[in-house]
Chain A
């Protein structure tokens, strides 16, 4: 298998390349700990993100236990409940999804898919991971300081976040700030790498319009993250000044526990503007890589070219750009000048157009395809269904008037979990089932994979779909208990119990996934270099798993886009990107080289 593809495809001669100097360590520590190999860094990122993600998963179960069965668990008091809420949110959004998509998949796939040996700045790339790890450790330390982790919500709104009486206002929130700063510094190092590698180090012939959509998604998400995280950085720095140095950027005159505070004249709204200037692009930082990856999974497993590739690329770009001018739709009922509502509702709904186009194109990619219902494909279809649901509920919240009664209710919780939690996580799973063979050389177990998919997909829908209805009924979010609220029917409690049970089942099912990951690593069926018969460059490596330096002696040369499946006139079902037109075998007499098909 090692030599697969060498004959049938084209590789650039070693001599005419500007070779990178790679650090080839010999020791175990050098190879797997202080590694500068993007693939090892990717796995380090991935494992760390999954570990911290498990913490957040446990937190969510604790929350569900309280909501489903209030007054049963003495461990959970109002402060700890809010701490679970806050830490769950922050971990899932930033430390799991952002890190996993960009640090994990980005690191693994960018050099391989672009056809280069490694990232542009491997040393910086390594530092990026270590910064990330430190930021995770600082974050977790928050649980162990007196007062515990912050309980101000993941949005960290002042004055609450730093005023006495809020859980974690003594130390936990400070650790959160420091952790975020370290994370942002680390991410910037990684992000520089992803951008420069995509711009600078693509293989010969790999034009921008031949890049797989995965790369486009990750690239645009990185661009956005690099421009959006500074907003969080500035906001956090200013809040730290308010907290430690007594400035009043965000802190107004106010009372805390009946006492006058020392602050004067600050504006809590200013923080919200800065936060959501980061926070909204952050949603798409998580979504765009998922969009990209799912496009590639759909095309590969449906054996069909992606429909409307250029439109897809431009949709990614337009979504990315527009996401910077919609932030205040999180603030329709924040007390800001209400006239902003007109502007931001309009921009927000405009963003639905390119997003809808992506959905159409995914479905049209399946149209007239030859759909293999493999596990990655199941996850991809699950993603489309979930994303359509979450995207449509976004039309409620983005439309300013509709948002008013629904803001801060469980409708919001249902919406954002559907669109930026379940949907991207389904893609993460699909991607892991898809690329695991390349990473380890073995297939993940199919049966376990299917069980995992069905429980996760149906279970997640059972958790989050009913939440929308709680929102219609006006059930507010971030409540420790509902007690006897006049307008909330008793049946709401029953529904909450149902949701909690579903959540526990889904959470436990993830154990099957982790078991599968470990078991298949040792016992899984050997996959060969290209089990899915995919066209992109990572499947054309000389070795599986690819060694340090990714490709063999010579780097691949690219002749075609990433979606040559079922090309008319070609005998092969798929044409790898590095297959020269001369090697395409004609299927029949009137066969022509590909590229003749016109829309």
Chain B
């Protein structure tokens, strides 16, 4: 008896749960209302069958529960009943399948007027490419990818006007169909924006596609939906859907391949001039000063310094209430006149001699080594920093500074700003450090890594791309 009641309660409870639970489809923001319709058709049909079968089951259990006097009815087959049931099921299935196939028909055929965006996935980062004026993408190949050529562009006239968007932030015009062309630099990824419904895997060595029309202005989160390694969960990006004019304006502000290639190399000489202000706290040689809470700068990569200065300048870093030292840094960064000054100063600092630092914290390096496995996937097993994964060098940096920043990431004091995608990623990753002890341990391990004055020689002399 209890089982029959359980079956009834569970069957009806499941239906009630569907109606009253707060978890349901995200608000639709694309043309794929038809996909939602197929989901709803399936829900209604399967829900009805679910309730019907289970209520009947419960009825049978109650009606035909054990009774001493009764013998069961002997009926090996009932061809008519079986034929009916088979027929009805087939009709039901066909009813589910038909709309599915119909919608799939439009899913696989993007409209003629759709514009194209290429999404490039890599471990654990998104970047985007627009075909530019000529409407054609230049040829690319994974073999050609390097720090200088992150998109793997091949020398192709069609590629010169391709607009390259390196940060994981995409802007799309509302109400214009877009065909997303997907590829990957390394493992499999999947470009997913829940509100758009459509998604597709991204493969290295070939392209895939899907299309949709954004219908709601707003900002949406891109997540990766195909297991791509340990930072899979932290592979995030943003799509902003805006009005047509705003989109055109944004697109015009993004550099083309040709523009990037023609960019002036930075001028360390000019950078030296700007550095005079910095030297007061960070030291003449960029060696840092713990008493003033000014970290060491020497030994950091130019691209990283440039990125952080930019973040300070536009308020994506150093604006959190609890980030006292970040707030101190902001006005200095803001005083730099322009982008060129940032590049120059970064180039100057990059060339400063890298001196070893003393350890000041006590953590358990052995335990830290286990934790560092995760860090090493982006920052390199030697903590040398990897340009391709946008991860700066850690080895040779002062431990007090590393520990403070890890704390800041953990608490969301640094990296939460929506303009700081790499900071976002660090916030996610720093969640694995469950307490201060874990932070100290991993920093202690980083202090044991070879101080990589040697590695500096390998730094790319041009180092000018964004």
Q: Which residues of A contact B (CB under 8 A)?
A: 70-74, 76-79, 82, 151-153, 157, 159-160, 163, 165-167, 252-258, 260, 265-269, 302-305, 307-311, 333-335, 338-339, 341-342, 345-346, 349-350, 352-353, 356-357, 359-361, 363-364, 366-373, 378, 381-382, 384-385, 388-389, 392-393, 395-396, 399-402, 404-409, 454, 457-458, 461, 465-466, 469-470, 472-474, 476, 478-487, 489, 491-492, 495, 563, 565-568, 573, 597, 599
Contact = CB atoms under 8 A, between A and B. Distances in A.
Nearest to B381: A257
Interface of B: 1-3, 6-7, 10-11, 14, 17-18, 21-26, 34-35, 38-39, 42, 45-46, 49-50, 53-54, 56-57, 60-61, 64-67, 70-79, 81-82, 85-86, 89-90, 93, 96-97, 99-101, 103-105, 107-108, 122-123, 141-143, 145, 147, 182, 184-188, 190, 192, 194-195, 197-206, 208, 219-221, 223-234, 236, 370-371, 373-374, 377, 380, 386-389, 416, 427-429, 431-435, 438
Given A78-B432, A255-B388, A352-B89, A370 B53 contact: no
Contact of A385 (B7, B107, B188, B220): B7
A369 B63 CA distance: 9
Nearest to B391: A258
> Which of B34, B188, B429 has most A Cβ within 10 Å?
B188
B186 A349 contact: no
A573 to B, nearest CB: 7
29 contacts: A71-B431, A78-B429, A78-B432, A79-B373, A82-B229, A167-B373, A254-B184, A308-B78, A311-B82, A342-B101, A342-B105, A349-B93, A369-B60, A369-B64, A370-B66, A381-B3, A385-B11, A388-B50, A402-B100, A405-B194, A407-B199, A458-B10, A465-B14, A469-B23, A483-B428, A483-B431, A487-B220, A599-B76, A599-B77
Contact of A252 (B85, B123, B205): B205
A357 B72 contact: no
A412 B88 CA distance: 27
- What are the 9 tightest A-B residue pairs by CB atom distance, in nearest-first order? A252-B205, A258-B388, A474-B194, A335-B208, A368-B73, A304-B72, A399-B100, A479-B233, A392-B46
Contacts of B230: 78-79, 82, 151, 165-167, 480
Contacts of A341: 104, 108
Contact of B42 (A382, A399, A470): A399
Nearest to B56: A363
A365 B83 CA distance: 16
Given A78-B429, A345-B101, A491-B22, 17 more contacts: A151-B230, A157-B227, A257-B377, A267-B206, A309-B76, A353-B90, A353-B93, A357-B86, A373-B3, A401-B99, A402-B35, A404-B198, A469-B23, A472-B25, A480-B232, A485-B236, A487-B194
Given A77-B371, A469-B23, A482-B233, A366 B17 contact: no
Contact of A479 (B75, B103, B232): B232
Contacts of A167: 230, 373
B72 A476 contact: no
A71 B229 CA distance: 19
Contact of A597 (B10, B26, B74, B373): B74
Contacts of A308: 76-78, 82
A458 B6 contact: yes
A165 B231 CA distance: 10
> Which of B72, B76, B194 has most A Cβ within 10 Å?
B72
Contacts of A481: 233, 428, 431-432
A303 B56 contact: no
B221 A483 contact: no
Contacts of B75: 305, 307, 368, 597, 599
A508 to B, nearest CB: 21
B93 A466 contact: no
B61 A255 contact: no
A408 B221 CA distance: 16
Contact of A268 (B60, B192, B204): B204
Contacts of B202: 335
B72 A396 contact: no
Contact of A357 (B25, B35, B54, B85): B85
Contacts of B122: 255
Contacts of A389: 14, 50
B221 to A, nearest CB: 4
Contacts of B14: 389, 465
B241 to A, nearest CB: 14
Contacts of B208: 335
Contact of B57 (A381, A484, A599): A381
B17 A473 contact: no
A361 to B, nearest CB: 8
A401 B100 contact: yes
Contacts of A342: 101, 104-105
> Which of A265, A479, A563, A568 has most B Cβ within 10 Å?
A479
B23 A473 contact: yes
> Which of B25, B49, B93 has most A Cβ within 10 Å?
B93
Contacts of A256: 186
Contact of A309 (B77, B143, B199, B389): B77
B54 A388 contact: yes
A302 B201 contact: no
B235 to A, nearest CB: 10
> Which of A368, A461, A465 has most B Cβ within 10 Å?
A368
A418 B282 CA distance: 59
Nearest to A457: B6
B97 A399 contact: yes
A487 B221 contact: yes
Contact of A305 (B34, B74, B86, B373): B74
A345 B57 contact: no
A568 B76 CA distance: 12
Contacts of B205: 252-254, 265-268
Nearest to B109: A338
B56 to A, nearest CB: 6
Contact of A400 (B49, B81, B101, B427): B101
B142 A255 contact: yes
Given A400-B101, A404-B197, A405-B194, A159 B38 contact: no
B386 A373 contact: no
B435 A573 contact: no
B154 to A, nearest CB: 13
Given A346-B101, A399-B96, A476-B225, A371 B371 contact: no
A176 B361 CA distance: 40
A257 B385 CA distance: 10
B42 A395 contact: yes
Contacts of A311: 77, 82
A269 B203 contact: yes
B234 A483 contact: yes
A3 B359 CA distance: 82
Contact of A333 (B39, B184, B201): B201
B363 to A, nearest CB: 13
A252 B142 contact: yes
